[in-house]
DNA sequence: CGATTGGTTGATTCTACTCAAGCCCGGTGG
DNA sequence: CCACCGGGCTTGAGTAGAATCAACCAATCG
């Protein structure tokens, strides 16, 4: 029981014929994947692996000799502490690629299936070859890494600065946006998000008990309703206000009228905050 | 005043002759940078820019058409909120490369010089060309992105799960490790870390006041002493214990005796924690 | 010299954690 | 069929860790 739970054997294997479809995440926008290249991809990737909810795909500290494309299901990327604490770094949805660790390093994180899930592995060595042969695939790979970094920075910012309410709102907002394919959210829209309150807690750095209270708050204040893995977005505006308090060139806008900006700065009481905002860090 | 503070003009410019040296971060381990390639790098990068402490290198929301190699000085990467909150995502030391944003995106973060600093910019288009021409430089670029992601995940985990003490310890530990070139830390070693308590606060998601208290705690408990930008590592062991509570294959060790592990699981009172540790997330 | 920045400390408040109990529900087994 | 159990969810009461508010000191700078 123990060994299979920690490192379960894949349940079934099936050779995937149209492998580009299974690697949409990696291949999206790749236009020069000629016959030679797609044959190489076909040859490079391994057999599809199927996991049950809760199965460990790999563990922190494992050798990192392959990367994975998530075909179906949800996966959590997490970082484990020796004393049992766990931080969920990211929730992955289909088409995500994961397990890319810097050459020579062991896995700095673990991956666990949250639902039944199927993934397609590719050996890193083979992927490296493929990248060198197919330039636009190389670019796509880099793009994935960069966008991943951006998401991590955003998550880190909300984790460091956000209140419990903001953290949870940001998480739900982001998951909903990805799940709906970035379609604009309408009031009342429903999204399936297969997370328990415990998982939300581990991702937001809160207690599951506190997550429960905050979810009630969000429900009572007409923002979102999250019950039985169903997220109902009551007020997209309220949700966005909570989830995205980013700056993003607010200063840039005001630079269109530098005089006013200058006046404002002179007149307003110069608090720590406003000063930091205007003058940068030091 | 306003405009120059927000987007200061570079103070001076100088063409750098031995540009590979100025791009050690990017070029480390790049062995096939032939005459052609290094000439291309020489042609690709722009004039060195020099900044004063506090100068903004770029802002969140700026167009991302160039990346930067940090030659001298320290730089903070941060994410700003509209209401004045700010999360420092990373502190950069010389040889770091920054500003790589996914193609087509605006900058999702800002960069500010913490000390006097000099950076060398390269247009992203030119760097892309260069990468395609010099394969090992391409690999190095990817390696940098991957290692950056790893660091972000680590930071996110300590931010989400760590106490104030652990967060500060982890930050100081990491900065010291990088500053000393990963040399093993000896008791009593001194490192210069040009941060204010306010900056530590913005990086750890705490108040500068609380940072102050915790630094006193760390001093009184004989871990580290941080005063006047000087970090003195009193007890490397205590510091590591606080800063690195990671798991890293603790479970892997116990798998050597699966029977015992099984027995233990059956006999021991099954707490939330131990269950989570053994069975993964779901 | 006043003004500003960084650091320090105390008193108070509040957010989120801990402990504890109970509910609902699906599964299991007598 | 019902009793039992575990997991997830919910709520309350008490607590702790960090934020807030408010001074004050020391060093630096124009």
Give 10-residue mean pLDDT values along chain A (282 residues): 37 46 67 64 83 95 95 96 95 96 95 95 93 89 97 98 97 95 86 96 97 96 94 95 80 40 32 37 34
**Residue B260 pLDDT > 60:** no
B43-52, B124-133, B153-162, B237-246: which is most confident: B153-162
- Three-state DSSP state, A27: helix
Provide the pLDDT confidence category of residue B21 given band limits of 50, 70 and 90. Answer: low
Chain A neighbors of B245, CB-CB under 8 A:
81-83, 85
- CB spacing of B103 vs A145 below 8 angstroms: no
Higher pLDDT, B95 or A182: B95
Q: What is the pLDDT of residue B265?
A: 31
User: How many angstroms is C1' of D3 away from CA of A194?
Assistant: 31
Best mutation target among A8, A77, A110, A156 (most B Cβ atoms within 10 Å) is A156
**Which of A105, A206, A120, A176 is closest to B153 using CA atoms?**
A105
- Express each pLDDT in B40-75 by its tens digit: 777 778 889 999 999 999 999 999 999 999 999 999
- CB spacing of B277 vs A100 below 8 angstroms: no
Provide the pLDDT confidence category of residue B29 given band limits of 50, 70 and 90. Answer: low
Strand D near-CB residues (< 7 Å), B 236-265: none
Q: Which residue is nearest to nucleotide C25 (CA to C1')?
A: A228
Q: What is the pLDDT of residue A136?
A: 84
CA distance B225 to chain A (A): 22
Chain B neighbors of A5, CB-CB under 8 A:
278-280
Q: What is the pLDDT of residue A182?
A: 78
CA distance A214 to chain B (A): 17
Nearest nucleotide (C1') to the CA of residue A279?
C5
**Distance from C-alpha of A240 to C-alpha of A249, rounded to nearest angstrom:** 17
Chain A neighbors of B64, CB-CB under 8 A:
none
| A207 CB less than 7 Å from any atom of strand C | yes
List the structure tokens of B112: 């500010």
**Distance from C-alpha of A97 to C-alpha of A137, rounded to nearest angstrom:** 13
**Distance from C-alpha of A276 to C-alpha of B198, rounded to nearest angstrom:** 11
Nearest nucleotide (C1') to the CA of residue B167?
D18
**Distance from C-alpha of B84 to C-alpha of A155, rounded to nearest angstrom:** 18
**Which of B100, B129, B117 is closest to B41 using CA atoms?**
B129
Q: CA nearest A204 in B: which residue?
A: B160
User: How many angstroms is C1' of D6 away from CA of B271?
Assistant: 12
Nearest nucleotide (C1') to the CA of residue B163?
D17
Chain B neighbors of A79, CB-CB under 8 A:
153-154, 156-157, 246
List the structure tokens of B82: 């509209």
Asked whether the beta carbons of B203 and B192 are under 8 A apart, the reply is: no
Q: Indicate the residue of A55, A247, A261 with minimum beta-carbon distance to B81.
A: A247
**Which of B208, B46, B199, B59 is closest to B115 using CA atoms?**
B199
| Cβ neighbours of residue B26 closer than 8 Å, sequence gap 6 or more | B69, B97, B137, B140, B141, B144
| Cβ neighbours of residue B151 closer than 8 Å, sequence gap 6 or more | B90, B174
Q: CA nearest A55 in B: which residue?
A: B280
Whole-structure pTM value: 0.84
Q: What is the pLDDT of residue B40?
A: 73
- CB spacing of B79 vs A246 below 8 angstroms: yes
User: What is the arithmetic mean of pLDDT over B28-38?
Assistant: 64
Q: What is the pLDDT of residue A185?
A: 85
Token pair 């510091």 is found at B239
| A227 CB less than 7 Å from any atom of strand D | yes
Q: What is the pLDDT of residue B114?
A: 97
Chain A neighbors of B147, CB-CB under 8 A:
102, 105
Q: What is the pLDDT of residue A191?
A: 94
Q: Indicate the residue of A84, A89, A247 with minimum beta-carbon distance to B153.
A: A89
List the structure tokens of B233: 């590592």
User: How many angstroms is C1' of D11 away from CA of B157?
Assistant: 30
Q: What is the pLDDT of residue A183?
A: 80
Asked whether the beta carbons of B99 and B89 are under 8 A apart, the reply is: no
Chain B neighbors of A56, CB-CB under 8 A:
280
Q: What is the pLDDT of residue A279?
A: 36
Q: Indicate the residue of B5, B79, B81 with minimum beta-carbon distance to A279.
A: B5
Q: Indicate the residue of B54, B258, B278 with minimum beta-carbon distance to A280.
A: B54
% of chain B residues with pLDDT over 70: 76
- CB spacing of B279 vs A54 below 8 angstroms: yes
- CB spacing of A61 vs B247 below 8 angstroms: yes
Provide the pLDDT confidence category of residue B273 given band limits of 50, 70 and 90. Answer: very low
Q: What is the pLDDT of residue B24?
A: 72
Q: Indicate the residue of A83, A84, A199 with minimum beta-carbon distance to B281.
A: A199
Higher pLDDT, B105 or B40: B105
Q: Which burial class, exposed, middle or buried, applies to A51 when counting CB atoms under 10 A from its CB (0-12, 13-18, 19+)? A: buried
**Distance from C-alpha of B144 to C-alpha of B90, rounded to nearest angstrom:** 14
């Amino acid at each position: 029981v123990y060994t299979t739970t920690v490192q379960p054997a894949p349940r079934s294997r099936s050779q995937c014929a149209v492998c580009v479809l299974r690697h949409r995440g990696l291949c999206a926008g790749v236009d020069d994947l000629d016959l030679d290249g797609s044959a190489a991809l076909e040859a490079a990737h391994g057999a599809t692996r199927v996991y049950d909810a809760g199965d460990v795909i790999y563990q922190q500290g494992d050798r990192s000799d392959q990367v994975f494309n998530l075909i179906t299901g949800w996966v959590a990327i997490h970082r484990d502490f020796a004393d049992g604490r766990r931080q969920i770094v990211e929730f992955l949805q289909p088409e995500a690629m994961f397990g890319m660790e810097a050459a020579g390093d062991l896995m700095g994180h673990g991956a666990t299936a949250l639902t039944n899930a199927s993934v397609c592995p590719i050996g890193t060595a083979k992927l490296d070859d493929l990248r060198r042969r197919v330039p636009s695939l190389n670019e796509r790979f880099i793009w994935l890494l960069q966008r991943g970094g951006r998401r991590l920075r955003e998550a880190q910012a909300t984790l460091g600065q956000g209140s419990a309410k903001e953290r949870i709102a940001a998480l739900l907002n982001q998951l909903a946006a990805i799940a709906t394919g970035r379609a604009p959210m309408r009031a009342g829209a429903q999204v399936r998000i297969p997370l328990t309150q415990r998982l939300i807690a581990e991702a937001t750095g809160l207690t599951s008990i506190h997550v429960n209270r905050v979810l009630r708050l969000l429900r009572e204040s007409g923002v979102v309703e999250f019950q039985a893995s169903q997220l109902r977005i009551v007020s997209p505006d309220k949700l966005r206000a909570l989830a995205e308090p980013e700056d993003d060139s607010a200063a840039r806008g005001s630079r269109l009228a530098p005089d006013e900006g200058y006046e404002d700065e002179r007149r307003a009481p110069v608090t720590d905050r406003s000063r930091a905002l205007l003058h940068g860090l030091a």
